[in-house]
Amino acid sequence: MDRSGRREQIIRAAREAFQNFGYKATTLDHIAKYANMGKGTFYLSFKTKEEVFTCIVDDELKQFARFAEEAINKYGLNIESLHHYICNLSGYQQQHPLFCKLKQEAEAFQTHEVKEGLTRIENTAFDQLKELIIKLMETGAMEPSDVEFTAFLITELYTALLFKWGEKHDPLSNEEILERFQQYLQPGLCHSNRNKKKEI
């Protein structure tokens, strides 16, 4: 096996170990066992488990960019693509076994490396949302406004609709959430675009 293949094998093994044991409880012995190799072979590719963890987080960040690209390619530059990006991202974070395990560990043990990794993931997701909003503003699909505040407002709205609403009510489907977004938020965010449609 070449060096690249060995690195990928170790990363896959580390993912499985972190998912099963959490970051803090995972040892190099666990990773080596899942990778079916000795610890000496591990050190040919990585120095520490922290280094492997960083690679795994980097892979997660690339996935977020793919969510945005897929939404734009399928729905175009509009509110619907923004909606589907957020829903796909939220679903991924809620259902991904490794992500869920790391969130549990961060809350229970305050593991520094895990908290830093999750912060990177959350910040990147937020930055990706801002980039998508900027694109929508540049094409006229959204009214020009404070991008940081707009991204924050949309994030809080979707957090409430996706998770908090379901705590005391029947959960909303993605389609119902889009309807609420279009009803309560889109008229303000897309005011000039709405007026243009009326004039046509």
Task: Give the relative orientation of helices 174-184 and 79-95 as an angle to the nearest 10 degrees.
Answer: 140
Of the pLDDT bands very low, low, confident and very high (cuts 50, 70, 90), residue 189 is confident
Contacts of 167 (CB under 8 A, 6+ apart): none
What does the pLDDT read at residue 43? 92
pTM for this prediction: 0.84
Indicate the average pLDDT of the chain: 89
First to last CA, the chain: 63
Which of 21-25, 63-67, 82-86, 161-165 has the weakest average pLDDT? 63-67
**pLDDT for the residue 191:** 61
Residue 199 has pLDDT above 50, yes or no: no
44-48, 62-66, 81-85, 133-137: segment of lowest average pLDDT: 62-66
